[in-house]
Amino acid sequence: MSPTRRRGDALTTAIFQAVLSELAESSFEELTFDKIASAAGTGKAALYRRWSTPAELVLAALSDPATGFGEPPAPPGTGTLRDDLIALLEQFVRALDEPRGRALLPLIAHRHRHPELFEQVHRLVIRPHQEVLLSVLRQAVDRGEAAPGSLTPRIVSVGPRLILLQAWEGGLVDSCEITSIVDEVLIPLTRP
């Protein structure tokens, strides 16, 4: 019945994908080695050999470049603030449609129950993305496209937050909504 017995990275990647999928449709507390093993089509022993807690596994899956957020996002560098913002938010929306993105939602929602885990997720995933957004705004300020006062964490967070809630409510966010957020909210908000 099994096509072949996987080993090494092939198996690890399958396990990571299983972790993120399970996380995406439940929550961290419901994550068990049992479910992960069956979702990955392997036995629990293969998991126990490598990780000892679900938290380790989640962080490993999120850190992996293939399945998670292994490398920080690239700055778009389109030359204008508007296009940079649209590119970043579209990238964000695309990520939220993948398992790695959907896996973030339960972690964010229950952040207060697992502060240490969320802290690492924040460092690993959220902060780098905020940094990119901030650098985009900084360049816009240098070009005179945005007010220097826009460089606050608060303002930086508005775009991702609106996207996040939209994704939470409706599922996928279409690009028309992204441009609407950029043009009606973010650009007015940062105008010099």
8 Å CB contact between 20 and 61: yes
Using rule CB under 8 A, residue 172 touches its own copies: no
**Given candidates 24, 39, 46, 55, which one binds DNA under the rule CB under 7 A?**
46
Nearer to its own copies, 20 or 107 (CB): 107
Reduced to 3 DSSP states, what percent helix, strand and coil does the chain have, rounded to the nearest 5?
70, 0, 30
Using rule CB under 8 A, residue 48 touches its own copies: no
58/63 Cα distance (integer angstroms): 8
Judged by beta carbon distances under 5 to 8 A according to partner kind, the member of its own copies, DNA, none in contact with residue 119 is: none
159/181 Cα distance (integer angstroms): 7
CB of 45 to its own copies, least distance (A): 29
Using rule CB under 7 A, residue 28 touches DNA: no
48/53 Cα distance (integer angstroms): 9
Residues 6 or more apart in contact with residue 163 via CB below 8 angstroms: 89, 92, 93, 96, 173, 178, 181
Using rule CB under 8 A, residue 165 touches its own copies: yes
Nearer to DNA, 30 or 183 (CB): 30
CB of 161 to its own copies, least distance (A): 5
Measured between alpha carbons, how far apart are the two ends of the chain, in Å?
64
**Given candidates 2, 65, 71, 116, which one binds DNA under the rule CB under 7 A?**
2
Nearer to DNA, 52 or 152 (CB): 52
What are the two backbone dihedrals, phi and then psi, of residue 77, each rounded to the nearest 5 degrees? 60, 45
49/128 Cα distance (integer angstroms): 31
Using rule CB under 8 A, residue 115 touches its own copies: no
In the complex, which residues of this chain contact DNA (CB under 7 A)? 1-2, 4-8, 11, 30, 32-35, 41-46, 48-49, 52, 54
In the complex, which residues of this chain contact its own copies (CB under 8 A)? 27, 108-109, 111, 154-155, 158, 161-162, 164-165, 168-169, 180, 184-185, 188-189
